Amino acid sequence: MNPPGPATRARVLPVAGRGEEIPEEDVVRECLRRTPPHLPPWLGYDAVGSDLFEQITELPTYYLTRVERALLERHSPEIAELLAGGRIAELGSGSAKKMRLLLESCVRLRRTTYLPIDVDEGMLRSSAAELCSQLDDLEVTGLWGRYEAALDWLRDHTGEPLAVIFLGSSFGNATREERDGLLHEIARTLKPGESFLVSADLDKSPEVLESCYNDPVGYTAFADFRLNYLTRLNDLYGADFVLDDFVPDACYNTQTSTVEGRLRARADRTVSIPGLGVTLHLPRGHFLNVGYSVKFDEEGLAREVGAHGFHLRTRWLDPEARYGLFLFRRDESSPSR
Ligand SMILES: C[S@@+](CC[C@H](N)C(=O)[O-])C[C@H]1O[C@@H](n2cnc3c(N)ncnc32)[C@H](O)[C@@H]1O
């Protein structure tokens, strides 16, 4: 009998609404009521947003993707040995281009099921099909929805040892409160001895960070990506944002070690968002926040993740210590359980 073809090894399952997941509208409404108002990262990733993010990864000043890819090219065989899991779940998998490097090493060692998790269904389907056509024997079950719902699905579908992977320094896109909530869910999902691999961008000078998170002359990927959040609010919730009324940029907040992606109102603006029952007042010069990117120090990250019942097993940094991959192992007991 012929081995199963790529099409039969790739599937995508919707997981939205599972477990204690808060409805999308409630999350967006709550974020808009904060000071300053902000928008959750997942809102920006429709097909247009995902494509713009891919363009960002290719900007000459955006070092993160290139450095992470180099780390994975170099260390994937060792990481795959240490993961020791037949099931590899990835939070916010996107195009999964870098993940392919790690999966290549995994399938050489053992039968592997990859469980990419993302809100962009189109990206999940295309990356699943592409990976299965490139890697014989790989099984892919894409989980279409937000992290909490997908982790809930994973808790209900046990099997081979599981590893949770979080690449692209996306962990830093959440606030401290959101990161604690997510770590709690990850800790509840992994059994003692299982692995959590997370990448983080390390703190560095404001000049480097601001040049990384703003468009170089002649490019518009970051600006378009940030403005796409307003298009999403208009499309999903009937908002009346006029894109030209807002100036996109990014600024490094040294107090919080966070790059803040912003949309600044050119003049006093009142925007109605009927689908959320929200009216937003933005005085001239005030910002709507459309993306946090927290910069970590190694000890702080180990402490933060460690507080949820993990210990740092090992980590890999690039030669200039700009960026790291951190491998944690789930402890026997944890305050999160
Ligand atoms: C910054 S991109 C990183 C993509 C890829 N991991 C990489 O390293 O290039 C973040 C990805 O996470 C997805 N995402 C963001 N927040 C999410 C959430 N709460 N639940 C599911 N997917 C999410 C987005 O759709 C996007 O594909």
Which pLDDT score is estimated for 335?
Answer: 55
Identify whether residues 198 and 305 lie together within a single domain.
Answer: yes
Q: What is the pTM assigned to this prediction?
A: 0.96
In the chain, the number of structural domains is 2
Whether 152 and 280 share a structural domain = no
Say if ligand 1 is within 6 A of residue 143 CB. no
Strand partners, 315: 326
Instruction: Compute, in angstroms, the gap from residue 89 CA to the centroid of ligand 1.
Output: 13
Say whether 277 sits in a helix, a strand or coil.
coil
What share of the chain has pLDDT > 90, as a percent?
A: 93
Q: What is the mean pLDDT of residues 172-182?
A: 95
The answer, yes or no, to whether any atom of ligand 1 lies below 6 A from the CB of 117, is yes
Both 200 and 226 in one domain: the answer is no
2 pLDDT more than 70: no
pLDDT digit string, tens, across residues 93-146: 999 999 999 999 999 999 999 999 999 999 999 999 999 999 998 999 999 999
- Which residue is closest in CA terms to ligand 1's atom 8? 168
pLDDT at 337 (0 to 100):
45
Residue 289's pLDDT is what? 97
Residue 4 pLDDT level (bands cut at 50, 70, 90): confident
My answer on whether 283 and 303 are in the same domain is no
Q: Is residue 1 one of the residues assigned to a domain?
A: no
Asked if 129 and 259 sit in the same domain, the reply is no
Let me know if residue 302 belongs to a domain: yes
Q: 128 and 10 in contact (C-beta within 8 Å)?
A: yes
Q: Is residue 255 part of a domain?
A: yes
Query: How do residues 7-27 score in pLDDT, each as one tens digit?
Result: 789 999 999 988 778 999 999
Residue 3 has a pLDDT of 63
Domain range for residue 227?
A: 222-294
Q: Which atom of ligand 1 is nearest to the CA of 120?
A: 25
CA separation for the pair 159, 174 (Å, rounded) = 29
Both 300 and 289 in one domain: the answer is: no
Q: What is the average pLDDT across 54-76?
A: 98
Residue 118 CA, closest ligand 1 atom number: 22
- The reported pLDDT for the residue numbered 216 is 98
Which helix (H) or strand (E) covers residue 334, if one does?
A: none
User: 95 C-alpha to center of ligand 1: Å?
Assistant: 9
Tell me: do 259 and 304 sit in the same domain.
no
Q: pLDDT tens, 104-114?
A: 999 999 999 99
pLDDT digits (tens, 9 = 90+) for 241-283: 999 999 999 999 999 999 999 999 999 999 999 999 999 999 9
Q: How far apart are CA 119 and CA 145, in angstroms?
A: 5
